[in-house]
Structure 1
Amino acid sequence: MNEYRSNYLGLTVSSPKTGFFCRWWNRRLPLQALAWELQPEYPAPIVAVRVDNVLEDLEYVPERDCLVEMVDMSTETGLRVYGQSLAFVLMRVARELFPGKQLEIQFSLNKGFYGELLGDEPLTPEMVDRLRERMWEVVRAAEPIKRKVVSRFEALHILEASGRQDQADVLRFRSREPVNIYTCGDYLAYSDEILVPHTGMITTYQLVHYFTGFLLRHPDQSDPFRIPPNVEQKQLAYIFRESDKWTKIVKVGDVRDLNLHNEAGRTGELIRIAEALHEKKIAQIADRIAEEPEKARLILIAGPSSSGKTTFAQRLKIQLRVNGLDPVNLSMDDYFLPREQTPRDASGNYDFESIDAVDCALFNDHLMKLIAGEAVELPRYNFHTGDREYHQDIVQAGIDRPIIVEGIHGLNEKLTAAVARDHKFKIYVSALMELNLNPMNYIKTTDARCIRRIVRDHRFRSHDAPRTLTMWPSVRRGEERWIFPFQEEADVMFNSALVYELAVLARYAVPLLEAIPSDSKVYGEAQRLLTLLDYFRPMEDLEVPPNSILREFIGGSCFF
């Protein structure tokens, strides 16, 4: 490690870019002072710090020697801090401009957040213009965002006394201590996320009118100094908004509603309704394919990690058989190139997530032969030897035998370049969680998928929670490169999220996360996920049916 001496602060640190031991001599100065001094060493603005593996704001003052890491916007954590701070300022401005109305952030979209007014009143372009103008005034003023760490009991008292009953009602379900209360001007709210210390740090954003609400966009990790090019995501927005309306129909718009269902003993009915919705949607997709089977000779299923693609493919196959079709399954994994031909990533590791790791030439050759009605001997990839093997697995397709392919590159035209587009039916599957903690804090799809994966990896892959959490950023980078850019290519999208699932997953995930020691690099992330799961009243899984997508993660599936 390279030693770095800070004359201004009177401390010695090592390896300023990747984390360092901080022997703190001047305990009256917050870590913001150190961040200013180290900022030239970082490619993006520093927005928070990690102290002994726990995320803290820049105003944090260490009281003992500690391990310190700067968190900048080139990381997923830093971007989350920035985005949550941006949402906080928007909410502050909305409460000031439109008293008596409540803005709600509903889901992630197009490198930002989509939201609407609660109730049936649409947000007009003029209202968004006023929000934008006032936000910029608050940002230019660099108003302090002050954090106060209090007990849960004190937080409830502060929120109720400040007229924030909407937040207090949800916080009652949480038992973990302590609670962060943030203030900016006259606005007050609690947040489980760390925020930046003043509004002047969130200068890069874009607020526009969208559908009947707003779209608040922020930078991404690749370029934290500008808004990325606009990518229209109409299909994704439609699925999210459809799911939001459905949760309101069943009266489960947020975690509080779900917990009340649980406490009232109505979970069985809720599970059956949620599963029936999945079955209906899958049946509709199968009906659409069966209407014109010549245009769906190749069915491609893609989506990010832990979306339930495997169970979806099995259930779709059953529905297709109901329609008189007999699908053939091809595994993309069996078409990996031999190990010595596999590309490597920047760290020199085999990059199995790259499309260049797939033998696209052989894959397309087999697809064309199958579509032409020829018999093909399918390969089997041996992951132990890194070689392709053949075991007399011969298949033949026809007009009544569509080919189903499930894998991360399914929507990428390069994978199936030899097959005409009008012979392909592309399906995007993702767990688009449509549930809020409160109007400012929605449950991120990424977090829901990560919790699914932690449970599945432990139960079926002998991976502990630290390993899954350590691998997760790499998985996310692969998704950003190989999956999300192609999602709007889909002919149809399927939302695999279940409104009740986190209440069931909590029973499995909480003990795994609680077992992560405080000296682990992923300890802080584990604590963040534990705080999220703490809001849910645990739910038994006895009434979760064996064909449920959730069974792919908790066990008991009839397909595996």
Structure 2
Amino acid sequence: MPYQLQDINRGLRTDPAGYLARCDHAYQGRIEAAVDQILARMKDSPIVLLSGPSGSGKTTTAMKLEQELERRGVNSHTISMDNYYKTLNRKTAPRTPEGDIDYESPKLLDLDLLDETFTRLSRGDWVVVPKYEFARQMRNDSRGTFLKLDKNEIAIFEGIHALNDDIAGRHPEATGLYISARSNVLEGEEMRFKATWMRISRRAVRDYNFRGTDLLETLLMWYNVRRGEKTYISPFKNRANIVIDSSLPYEPSVFAHYAAALGEAVDQIPRDNPRHQEFHDLVDAFRYFEPVDLDLVPPESLIREFIGGGSYSY
């Protein structure tokens, strides 16, 4: 359901702290509703498969789900599916149409090991969760951790490919959860900010702040990221038993603080880039939003995953 620009700006002008708190409280309500469904399906499987495209807030959402489950007396463990990447073999790695390694492809994952892991955990057996070292692009099983699920425990496997046929398709009994920023911002009927712009803003700011990736580099790779989403992620979202909209009405006002830096990066993008005009439209759209003091963003807000200063450890 779209947000209305007038409502956002009114809330930020009249009671910014209260408005942000109400938005985050509404998101917590989505978490609680998701946990209701997870617990209702727990008799079928202790495995939750959490998928969503880049910038959807999967990591914070997984933590919030874990927090709410434990509040209700259910022990939970969140496992990043990134640890199930295979050691990269450049000779056999899948390629994009341009000939580059397709880092968005699920074929880079050890699908058989994931299958075995879900089966063994569901039986109450011990497994070793591997550790992937991105700096060396290799899996180091010697740094893996042991995991076993007791009767009142859940494992949340979080990753962009969690609902793929080769993962969720082998375990339809698992609870599938799809998360993405899904609400546009309208002014009347006029589009002012697309939900996908929330995700690119999140990713660009996060990678700039915490991953040493400059804004231009993130913007230039967005075309391939979106192509990967349409090929490997979106086609499987209908497998989800639960869908969570991770958008927050106030986030364009938060990311507006980075508009100048984003604008400088956008000005360097070649005109033949398929996203050239869209990026210019994105930066221009920030002018519609009432500014907000970043210090007012609650420490437990999902947006803190991207701007820092939050209460969760990533």
| Fold in common (TM above 0.5) | yes
Structure 2: give runs of 5+ residues left out of the alignment.
none
Give the letter aligned to residue 146 of structure 2: I
Q: Which residue pairs with 1:550 in the alignment? A: 303
Give the Cα separation in 1 of the matches to 2:264 and 2:93. 36
Q: Which residue pairs with 1:108 in the alignment? A: none
Whether 2:123 is the aligned partner of 1:343: answer no
Relative distance call for 1:261 and 1:377 in structure 2 (3 A) is: closer
Q: Which residue pairs with 1:484 in the alignment? A: 234
Could you tell me which of 294, 311, 314 is aligned with 2:43? Answer: 294
Residues 226-270 of structure 1: per-residue CA shift (max 9 Å, x gap): xxxxxxxxxxxxxx3xxx4xxxxxxxx522332233233x11221
Give the Cα separation in 2 of the matches to 1:528 and 1:418. 41
> What is the Cα deviation at residue 417 of structure 1?
4.4
SS at the partner of 1:311? helix
> What is the Cα deviation at residue 524 of structure 1?
5.0
> What is the Cα deviation at residue 331 of structure 1?
1.9
Q: Map of 1:284-363 to 2, 5 A cutoff?
A: 284-340=33-89, 341-363=92-114
> What is the Cα deviation at residue 308 of structure 1?
0.5
> What is the Cα deviation at residue 399 of structure 1?
2.5
Contact 1:368 1:418 in 2 (8 A): no
Contact 2:184 2:191 in 1 (8 A): no
Q: Which residue pairs with 2:138 in the alignment? A: 387
Give the Cα separation in 2 of the matches to 1:553 and 1:488. 27
Q: Among the aligned pairs, what percent are the same residue?
A: 30
How many residues in Structure 1 have an aligned counterpart in Structure 2? 306
Could you tell me which of 204, 207, 212 is aligned with 1:454? Answer: 204
Relative distance call for 1:457 and 1:323 in structure 2 (3 A) is: same
Residues 305-336 of structure 1: per-residue CA shift (max 9 Å, x gap): 10111000000001111121111222211111
> What is the Cα deviation at residue 392 of structure 1?
5.0
Could you tell me which of 222, 225, 240 is aligned with 1:475? Answer: 225
Contact 2:208 2:214 in 1 (8 A): yes
> What is the Cα deviation at residue 292 of structure 1?
4.2
> TM-score when scaled to structure 1?
0.52
Give the letter aligned to residue 475 of structure 1: V
SS at the partner of 1:337? coil
Q: Map of 1:19-34 to 2, 5 A cutoff?
A: none
Q: Which residue pairs with 2:281 in the alignment? A: 528
Give the Cα separation in 1 of the matches to 2:124 and 2:201. 43
Structure 1: give runs of 5+ residues left out of the alignment.
1-239, 245-252
Give the Cα separation in 2 of the matches to 1:517 and 1:484. 27
Give the letter aligned to residue 322 of structure 1: R
Residues 4-43 of structure 1: per-residue CA shift (max 9 Å, x gap): xxxxxxxxxxxxxxxxxxxxxxxxxxxxxxxxxxxxxxxx
Residues 396-428 of structure 1: per-residue CA shift (max 9 Å, x gap): 113311111111111123114443x23x11111
> What is the Cα deviation at residue 455 of structure 1?
1.2
Q: Which residue pairs with 2:158 in the alignment? A: 406
Q: Which residue pairs with 2:7 in the alignment? A: 257
Q: Which has the higher contact order (CA 8 A, sep 6+)?
A: 2
Give the Cα separation in 2 of the matches to 1:496 and 1:452. 12
SS at the partner of 1:402? strand
> What is the Cα deviation at residue 342 of structure 1?
2.8
Give the Cα separation in 2 of the matches to 1:452 and 1:517. 16
Give the Cα separation in 2 of the matches to 1:415 and 1:292. 18
Relative distance call for 1:518 and 1:487 in structure 2 (3 A) is: closer
Residues 76-125 of structure 1: per-residue CA shift (max 9 Å, x gap): xxxxxxxxxxxxxxxxxxxxxxxxxxxxxxxxxxxxxxxxxxxxxxxxxx
Q: Which residue pairs with 2:28 in the alignment? A: 279
Give the letter aligned to residue 70 of structure 2: R
Q: Map of 1:89-168 to 2, 5 A cutoff?
A: none
> What is the Cα deviation at residue 559 of structure 1?
1.5
Give the Cα separation in 2 of the matches to 1:354 and 1:295. 29
Give the letter aligned to residue 532 of structure 1: A
Contact 2:37 2:242 in 1 (8 A): no
Contact 1:294 1:399 in 2 (8 A): no
Residues 373-394 of structure 1: per-residue CA shift (max 9 Å, x gap): 1111221112232222122511
Relative distance call for 1:417 and 1:398 in structure 2 (3 A) is: farther
Give the Cα separation in 2 of the matches to 1:385 and 1:548. 33
Relative distance call for 1:379 and 1:517 in structure 2 (3 A) is: closer
Give the Cα separation in 1 of the matches to 2:41 and 2:51. 21
SS at the partner of 2:196? helix
Relative distance call for 1:296 and 1:557 in structure 2 (3 A) is: farther
Give the letter aligned to residue 95 of structure 2: R
Q: Which residue pairs with 1:45 in the alignment? A: none
Whether 2:126 is the aligned partner of 1:375: answer yes
SS at the partner of 1:530? helix
Give the Cα separation in 2 of the matches to 1:521 and 1:392. 43
Q: Which residue pairs with 1:494 in the alignment? A: 244
Q: Choose 536-545 or 344-353, whichever is displaced more.
A: 344-353
Higher strand residue share: 1
Relative distance call for 1:438 and 1:286 in structure 2 (3 A) is: same
> What is the Cα deviation at residue 442 of structure 1?
4.7
Contact 1:344 1:350 in 2 (8 A): yes
Give the Cα separation in 1 of the matches to 2:212 and 2:262. 15
Give the letter aligned to residue 288 of structure 1: Q
Give the Cα separation in 2 of the matches to 1:478 and 1:371. 30
Relative distance call for 1:528 and 1:362 in structure 2 (3 A) is: same
- Greater gyration radius: 1
Residues 113-172 of structure 1: per-residue CA shift (max 9 Å, x gap): xxxxxxxxxxxxxxxxxxxxxxxxxxxxxxxxxxxxxxxxxxxxxxxxxxxxxxxxxxxx
Higher helix residue share: 2
Relative distance call for 1:536 and 1:406 in structure 2 (3 A) is: same
